[in-house]
Structure 1
Amino acid sequence: MPEPTKRSSLFFKTLLPLVALAVGVMAYQYQISNPPLIEKKPLEAHYPTVEVVIAEPKDTEVEVYSQGTVRPRSETVLKPEVSGRVVWISPQLVNGGLFAEGEKLLEIDDTDYRTALASSKTAHVRAEVEFDHANRELKRIESLHRRNLASETQLDQARRSFRLAEATLNESRIQQQQAQTNLERTVIKAPFAGRVRKESVDFGQYLTQGENIATLYATDFYEVHLPIGIEQFVYLDIPPGTQGVLPPDSTLPVTIAGNIGTREFYWSGELQRTEGEIDAATRLVYGVVTVENKVLPNHPPLLVGMFVKAAIQGKVFPDVVTLPRNALRDNNQVLVVDENNRLHFRQVIVLRVQGDEVLIQSGLKPGEAVCISPLTVAVEGMRVNISPAKGV
């Protein structure tokens, strides 16, 4: 290879990389010596935004909630008072049948009882005749005795005969009344308006006195037995020391709610008595609510056995603040936001927690803003932004 060509190749291989490195170093030095200008912006403080509600103390009526099953207030077992063969049964004397007060439900063969009544009437006529004869005879003997024409023995005998005839007359009268009553008892009538729970009699069956015919219950009033915690009675306006039946002016209104199909219906009742003892197993006291079974248009009646919920009207407490339940923090505290938008823990006295609400009896002033937002960290005096709560 010629000598000039070799020198040119050596130049490019050795000196050119050094030149490129030198240019790079110079460019780096220039960049370091002349950095770009960065615009500085002031830092903005970011505070958490919380929802608040305004404390508005007012008189608040509380309710005590419970649930139970509808029962009949009056229930009885229908039994015959005389014996005999069944000759007629009402079409309503079946399970679930409805009947009116005094409606005939069953009839027993009355042949023997008519015969007994006729016989008692005959015996009563005979006794009346004997009594009239004895009465006249006594008066005759007494007249003769006053004229010394009859002895003392004869007078005693006449008086004895009169008393026996009088006793026989009274006995015959009682027997006639009993025979009449037994005849009337062959027709068995409903003691009240109601429904048949269970029947156990057939046509032609021979019934003995006192045998079970059917179980009936009245439909004019129903009862609901409600379990109530003993601590809940502080919210009910029941006079101290009251046990059993409440005085007429102390009964408490109760709203009964039950579902029929997919719809919920309401009925009005009264808490009229308590059972007066604590159930040893559940530690509950049972209150008894009476509900009148009124017939209303487009409103179904209560049904025995229906499961219902109940709201018992309680006392009215003054100056109570109602807050969403999530406003209450641990240890019965709430977070109050002051006029400078800073948080402060506040101890409060809770009247009760019911559903999604908490009732504060004391500890808050009118117009104070209470935080209801959940906070991961809450520090005394922490700055926040506030927003009115929605839907509260």
Structure 2
Amino acid sequence: MYDHFRNKGLHFVFCVFCTVFFVGCEPGTDKLEVREKIKKVEVFIVKTEDFEETIVASAVAFAHIEHRVSTEVSGLLKIKHARWGDRVKKGETLFEIDSEGFILIVKERKAALARALAQLHFMQAEQKRKKSLLQAKTLSQAGWEKLQFDLAAAISEKNQAQIALSRAQRNLRLTVLKSPIDGMILEDYHDMGEVIPVGTELARIADTTWIRFDVGVSDLELPHLSLGDLVPVTIDALGTRQLKGEITRISGNASPTRGIFPLEVRLENAERSILPGMVARLRLSGEKHKTQVIVPMMAIHQENDIPFVFLVQDQKALRRPVKLGKVLGDRVLIQEGLRTGDAVVLIAQGRLKIGEGLDVIQASAKP
């Protein structure tokens, strides 16, 4: 009897426990399932915009004006007044070739000219003296003609002596090499004591008041560029500061090897902060587009090579195929599939499914 009542009591307690458990848990489970279905998302509100493609090119800086200082006479490099990195003025002496031998040659040429002049003066006086003899018919015609020949030879010898002296004086002047421009010595190649042959380059000097960048563009990009266009320029060595260059030259002939059209961008460098050899990024204007839909690339999904986006519509996920156009850096042009005002999902909590509930936590009109 006791066992019978005990079993009934246990059965009753078990039934009450189950009832309380199911009644208490079922509503909470429904709420949990609902919470799991709603995902938080960030969206981009579609709008049309005008935009211009940008051609980004890397280029090395060159001095707009550059000169190479080379020898026109050979000799020992005796004095070196400047080295690479020095700033120099136009006409400033840079190098001196040993001039001792050239000075001696000038002296020799002066002596030779003096002899030639003395000979010429003698022949001119002889001509005057013998002219009266010719008139008195005491000098033969052959003797007179011989005198004229000797006089012409004396004149020629004097002229040659003058030319030789001028050449010797010029060579003496060329032993002193001066800067042809205001600028900075980029490189110098020889040391004092070296024997320098004719035509040897001693230094390279640049006027860095203006800097030049040489860029190549394709035949598709060329029609969108014009002389005078301003070009934003950034140089890594100068940080994030943006400079403004200008297109100053466009070639009408493509490179036969690369098939690109060279153009020149010039940039003022009054502070001399840009040095030849620095690498720059230039942003050239490209094709212009009117009223286009552009979205961030991160919003594009693909399945079986078909691109699509997720939209938020009535707080639920909607999948829509799109036709892509040009890729513009981290954005892409949408040719078909979207219209102004569509809310395109950019970021979501986990993978989205069609029809899922969505909670928009942030919306942006900027791609």
> Would you say same fold, with TM above 0.5?
yes
Structure 1's 159 and 254: CA in aligned 2 closer, same or farther, altered over 3 A? Answer: farther
Q: Which amino acid aligns with 1:115?
A: L
Structure 1's 206 and 345: CA in aligned 2 closer, same or farther, altered over 3 A? Answer: closer
Q: Give the corresponding residue for 2:91.
A: 102
Q: Give the corresponding residue for 2:206.
A: 218
Taking structure 2 as the reference length, the TM-score comes to 0.68
Structure 1's 37 and 367: CA in aligned 2 closer, same or farther, altered over 3 A? Answer: closer
SS at match of 2:351: coil
Q: Give the corresponding residue for 1:370.
A: 344
Candidates 253, 267, 290, aligned match of 2:231: 253
Kindly indicate whether the alpha-carbon contact (under 8 Å) linking 2:211 and 2:269 is maintained by their aligned counterparts in 1: no
Measure how far apart 1:386 and its partner are: 4.6
SS at match of 1:349: strand
For residues 131-168 of structure 1, give each alpha carbon's deviation from its aligned partner in whole angstroms, at most 9, with x where no partner exists: 57767888999999999998775675455445434433
The answer to whether residue 42 in structure 2 is matched with residue 51 in structure 1 is yes
Pairing 1:1-392 to 2, within 5 Å after superposition: 15-21=1-7, 48-67=39-58, 69-70=60-61, 78-90=69-81, 93-128=82-117, 153=142, 157=146, 160-192=149-181, 193-202=183-192, 205=193, 207-210=195-198, 212=200, 214-220=202-208, 221-222=210-211, 234-235=220-221, 237=223, 249=227, 253-259=231-237, 263-269=239-245, 276=255, 278=257, 292=267, 294-296=269-271, 301-306=273-278, 308-319=279-290, 320-330=292-302, 331=305, 333-335=307-309, 337=311, 343-354=318-329, 357-360=330-333, 362-363=335-336, 364-374=338-348, 376-379=351-354, 386=360, 388-390=362-364, 392=366
Q: Which amino acid aligns with 1:276?
A: S
Measure how far apart 1:313 and its partner are: 1.2
For residues 3-37 of structure 1, give each alpha carbon's deviation from its aligned partner in whole angstroms, at most 9, with x where no partner exists: xxxxxxxxxxxx33335556777x69x98xx9999
Q: Which amino acid aligns with 1:216?
A: R
Q: Which amino acid aligns with 2:296?
A: P
Kindly indicate whether the alpha-carbon contact (under 8 Å) linking 2:55 and 2:286 is maintained by their aligned counterparts in 1: no
Kindly indicate whether the alpha-carbon contact (under 8 Å) linking 2:53 and 2:328 is maintained by their aligned counterparts in 1: no
Structure 1's 165 and 346: CA in aligned 2 closer, same or farther, altered over 3 A? Answer: farther
Kindly indicate whether the alpha-carbon contact (under 8 Å) linking 2:85 and 2:185 is maintained by their aligned counterparts in 1: yes
Kindly indicate whether the alpha-carbon contact (under 8 Å) linking 1:75 and 1:215 is maintained by their aligned counterparts in 2: no
Kindly indicate whether the alpha-carbon contact (under 8 Å) linking 1:350 and 1:358 is maintained by their aligned counterparts in 2: no
SS at match of 2:236: strand
SS at match of 1:303: coil
Structure 1's 49 and 208: CA in aligned 2 closer, same or farther, altered over 3 A? Answer: closer
CA RMSD across the alignment:
5.0
Identity value in percent: 17
For residues 230-268 of structure 1, give each alpha carbon's deviation from its aligned partner in whole angstroms, at most 9, with x where no partner exists: 8x76445467xxxxxxxx8277725032135xx544444
Separation (CA, whole Å) in 1 of partners of 2:58 and 2:116: 65
Separation (CA, whole Å) in 2 of partners of 1:88 and 1:35: 107
**What residue ranges of structure 2 are gaps of 5+ in the alignment?**
none
Separation (CA, whole Å) in 1 of partners of 2:51 and 2:314: 31
Kindly indicate whether the alpha-carbon contact (under 8 Å) linking 1:333 and 1:347 is maintained by their aligned counterparts in 2: yes
Separation (CA, whole Å) in 1 of partners of 2:327 and 2:310: 20
Q: Which amino acid aligns with 2:94?
A: L
Question: May I ask how many residue pairs the two structures share in their alignment?
Answer: 347
Measure how far apart 1:62 and its partner are: 2.6
Structure 1's 163 and 312: CA in aligned 2 closer, same or farther, altered over 3 A? Answer: farther
Separation (CA, whole Å) in 2 of partners of 1:287 and 1:328: 36
Bigger fraction of residues in strand: 2
Measure how far apart 1:178 and its partner are: 0.7
For residues 310-353 of structure 1, give each alpha carbon's deviation from its aligned partner in whole angstroms, at most 9, with x where no partner exists: 03312142124443220223357342648656634243333223
**What residue ranges of structure 1 are gaps of 5+ in the alignment?**
1-14, 240-247
For residues 36-90 of structure 1, give each alpha carbon's deviation from its aligned partner in whole angstroms, at most 9, with x where no partner exists: 9979989979554543323333332332334455456666664433344454331
Kindly indicate whether the alpha-carbon contact (under 8 Å) linking 2:59 and 2:280 is maintained by their aligned counterparts in 1: yes
